[in-house]
Amino acid sequence: MIKILFFADTRERLGLAELDWDQDQATTVAELRTALAQRGERWRFFADGELLCAVNQTLCDAKTALQAGDEVAFFPPVTGG
């Protein structure tokens, strides 16, 4: 199982803060994004939207491999400071 978290605009567009995901369905961040984009109309922006991803609290890219127990977070470009 992978725990997926959503923040800020991403969370509000989905109406969802977190989701448990069977890790057999995806092996990389890119594959997970593709799978999420297919969940329905609200999820389409996962296919081409400008989203950042962190795996286990570290920013990562689309090629990053995922394994059971990972915490994956999707969010828009950050705007702190």
Partner 1 sequence: MATRVVVQTRDFELTTEYQRLLDSAPDAGGVVTFIGRVRAGQDRVRALTLEHYPAMTEPALGRIARAAEDRFAVQSINIVHRVGTLPAGAQIVFVGTAGTHRNDAFKACRFLIDVLKTQAPFWKKEHTEQGEHWVAAREIDADAARQWLE
Query: What end-to-end distance do the CA atoms of the chain give, in Å?
Result: 34
Among 35, 37, 54, 60, binds partner 1 (CB under 8 A): 54
Q: Does 15 bind partner 1 (CB under 8 A)?
A: no
Distance CA 25, CA 4 (A): 13
User: What order do you get walking across the sheet with 52-55 strand by strand?
Assistant: 18-21, 2-6, 71-75, 52-55, 58-60
Residue 5 vs 37, nearer CB to partner 1: 5
Q: Does 57 bind partner 1 (CB under 8 A)?
A: yes
Residue 38 vs 78, nearer CB to partner 1: 78
Task: List contacts with partner 1 (CB under 8 A).
Answer: 5, 7-9, 12, 54, 57-59, 71, 73, 75-81
